[in-house]
Structure 1
């Protein structure tokens, strides 16, 4: 039986009837498991450094390689959404995710694990734009906040429980079980998609432009690779590799932008940036991703290496904040639908800035209760900013810009993650070196923890600076009017009468 959104089917165009719940279940299961394995691995990085005999700069590439792949693939996703059906892309996405997870579960070396992460990233790179594009199509504008909130609940719950489960698995089994645990759920998600996923996108098959793909890959790939390489250690920023990679990336992105504006059917229609709230939304998401991913990398290092906590304890400390963020996501979605973004985004960035300022004062003597409180407050602030800014920005776009808007949003999220983590690691490393140079007895083992903490304090000051820049930008955010090309979905009964 057909019903109105959000509990049943919806008919948005003549002849198109979408079953909301089965589509959402398929997307949410796959998104949940993908993010679970990604964040769970962060807690295992310290153990992997010892087990695989690799440095912090090397182990960082398990995250960087993932982001690099996304940075290259996601820009092409806007065109893929117009070439292949929703079902085809969903099945391809889950197939890559399953293959990558299986390879990771069997990995016995760093190289094999890195290859597995790249394969997983291909799956995620196909899934993320597909998920957001689907939501934009099947939900009316006035209900998108709630829909994005549900996605936030599921997606943020994965990072919340990921570190805790990883700690349990590492202490009792091995890090391989992070992936063995994920594998059956990905298979279930694939089965759900095969049975219930519907085609929601419009297939237009624009021309494949080899030059655009080349410029995009060199541009986004060069930026991600350059910034990630800069985080490898002291003096890396001045290395030839970093300078050349970033220079190639910047030049290629300029050429990519010029080519897109000169084409009748661009690979990514950058004219989406002519919508001011979309531009503000992109910048807000960019800033949030820099803060989130740098914090998710820095905090576990501080807890495990600075405060000498186990992986399980680290996961338990990070659990409350992640759960709070997930629970608040649908609440923020409803508040956004009712009041708009301004009264959420601005207070949220104030909270984030204040929390990061407090974090810059943590030491090896800081209490567990303080860390849990600060992390929880940080997650509250992020929940108030991320989804409302993203949804508000996408709402201003007309429907034919949906694939481009989601591709731009998701691409810049990966670039922001790479830049944020690279800068945070570089600042942390520089702080450690400076501390050790001024230490009275650098050979004292206790000095290593103190040096790490000093570096991490500097990294949090960097995060606070980024958040304050976001706060200034947030002063320009306003609720958008529904674009005339964006037609709200109607109930099945209304569509039948039409």
Structure 2
């Protein structure tokens, strides 16, 4: 049984790794793509936005899909979609085709993450979930941080198409292994997918994600942002009301009746947002202010990625013994320390110091991300596990988009107001102001951590 479980976990972690790595690989490839297809930055940004939107629409539906179909079939379909999208992206003759490829990729990736968490949490008892979710944390922490380093090296030596060529064989191998060895562990339930719920969910989560994701580029106070945010908010209210009245809801909002689940979901969303936000701000600083390369950016982030990868399985085992409160307090203290020092960035800040500070923040993130997700899931009955993982993944994405938009807006606003100092100095002050915001966020996270229980009841 243990061998079978280990093989299933290995397949799931490999699928999650390749799908998360794919998200960050393309982030620093925008300039060559813009040059190849003769498009501007606003259009190129849709490669990230459309990926986020497709994920946001699909993830809330996964709780229903996990209940309705076998986990083996779902994983094979998700990996097939991802592989087809990757193949299409590698040979895309035009920008619209590349955009379609990203949508197909995201359709597969949106199913993989919540499916991975649900299967793992279903297979293991509460007292062992921390350890195994620690290995999941290795994937979710390491993949997005190593992406820029790998992409930087590939772009320095090859073309942006080779980013897809790098991912494709891995996804095909994982698909082949999953087809042969994957077993069914989740329980199927009868039920119909409510079409009105899909409409409300798609426009609700999609509107919020779209509004927040473009806010960083065009500013929060523009009509392009407020219309999708308003539509998204209204649709989300209608979606929640409908779910609370359906006998078999598509997404069960009653998971928030658990205080522990609610607090841990908020905290893990804040941590995810801080991780993505810190990476983006450091990328702007290294490439736009200091005029250094994508590879140098990746190398600064690499040590943090390695620490996150090494620490996640360790913190998972610690969580099983002592619970999440102590880990969260230590974690947010590290993030607070690293963020507060980054407020003092200058034109001459050593790249070694940047790497050390990002490593400190990454160490803190490894203490929080998966342990708190596990603590939240442990507070739910097994029947609500799929709904809990879908809700956690969705709110993490929305939180990440919101905080990233907020940080970029702060940076852009300060930069615009201080342009008389010169572009580089103005942007430096903008980045420092944004790091002041991450410091406040990490302080809020630290305060909320005191509300956690010392050790969850088994």
Sort the TM-score into its range (normalised by shorter chain). over 0.9
Partner residue of 2:321 out of 331, 335, 338: 338
Answer yes or no: is the 8 Å Cα contact 1:90–1:193 preserved in 2: yes
1:108 is displaced (CA, Å) by 4.7
Paired with 1:382 and 1:464, the residues of 2 have a C-alpha distance of 14
Gaps of 5+ in 1: 9-18, 440-446, 483-498
Quote the residue 2:231 is aligned against. 248
Deviates more, 1:399-408 or 1:35-44: 35-44
Quote the residue 1:285 is aligned against. 268
Answer yes or no: is the 8 Å Cα contact 1:272–1:401 preserved in 2: yes
Answer yes or no: is the 8 Å Cα contact 2:279–2:301 preserved in 1: no
1:38 is displaced (CA, Å) by 1.6
Per-residue CA deviation, residues 32-74 of structure 1 (Å, 9 max, x unaligned), is 1112222222232355455555555444433222211111111
Partner residue of 1:449 out of 397, 400, 424: 424
Answer yes or no: is the 8 Å Cα contact 1:294–1:424 preserved in 2: yes
Per-residue CA deviation, residues 152-194 of structure 1 (Å, 9 max, x unaligned), is 2233332343222211111111121111011011000001110
Q: Please tell me the root mean square deviation across aligned C-alpha atoms, in Å.
A: 1.7
Deviates more, 1:32-41 or 1:267-276: 32-41
Paired with 1:145 and 1:268, the residues of 2 have a C-alpha distance of 25
Paired with 2:138 and 2:24, the residues of 1 have a C-alpha distance of 16
Confirm or deny that 1:74 pairs with 2:27: no
Confirm or deny that 1:237 pairs with 2:212: no
Quote the residue 1:420 is aligned against. 403
Per-residue CA deviation, residues 70-104 of structure 1 (Å, 9 max, x unaligned), is 11111111001111111110011101111111122
Confirm or deny that 1:317 pairs with 2:292: no
SS at match of 2:160: coil
Task: State TM-score, norm by structure 1.
Answer: 0.88
Quote the residue 1:494 is aligned against. none
Quote the residue 1:305 is aligned against. 288
Answer yes or no: is the 8 Å Cα contact 2:137–2:369 preserved in 1: no
1:241 is displaced (CA, Å) by 2.3
Confirm or deny that 1:65 pairs with 2:50: yes
Answer yes or no: is the 8 Å Cα contact 1:104–1:112 preserved in 2: yes
Confirm or deny that 1:181 pairs with 2:186: no
* CA shift in 2, pair 1:196/1:106, >3 Å: same
* CA shift in 2, pair 1:62/1:358, >3 Å: farther
1:426 is displaced (CA, Å) by 1.3
Quote the residue 2:13 is aligned against. 28
Confirm or deny that 1:226 pairs with 2:211: yes
Task: State TM-score, norm by structure 2.
Answer: 0.96
Deviates more, 1:279-288 or 1:38-47: 38-47
SS at match of 1:383: helix
SS at match of 1:372: helix
Confirm or deny that 1:461 pairs with 2:436: yes
* CA shift in 2, pair 1:49/1:357, >3 Å: farther
Paired with 1:331 and 1:141, the residues of 2 have a C-alpha distance of 17
Paired with 2:346 and 2:97, the residues of 1 have a C-alpha distance of 37
Higher helix share: 2
* CA shift in 2, pair 1:131/1:151, >3 Å: same
Paired with 2:30 and 2:133, the residues of 1 have a C-alpha distance of 31
Quote the residue 1:148 is aligned against. 133
Quote the residue 1:488 is aligned against. none
SS at match of 2:407: helix
Superposition misfits of 4+ residues, deviation over 6 angstroms = none
Confirm or deny that 1:270 pairs with 2:253: yes
SS at match of 1:366: coil
Gaps of 5+ in 2: none
Larger Rg: 1
Quote the residue 1:14 is aligned against. none
Quote the residue 1:373 is aligned against. 356
1:25 is displaced (CA, Å) by 1.7
Partner residue of 2:394 out of 411, 423, 426: 411
Paired with 2:28 and 2:300, the residues of 1 have a C-alpha distance of 12
Answer yes or no: is the 8 Å Cα contact 2:270–2:400 preserved in 1: no
Answer yes or no: is the 8 Å Cα contact 2:136–2:370 preserved in 1: no
Answer yes or no: is the 8 Å Cα contact 1:61–1:114 preserved in 2: yes
Confirm or deny that 1:364 pairs with 2:364: no
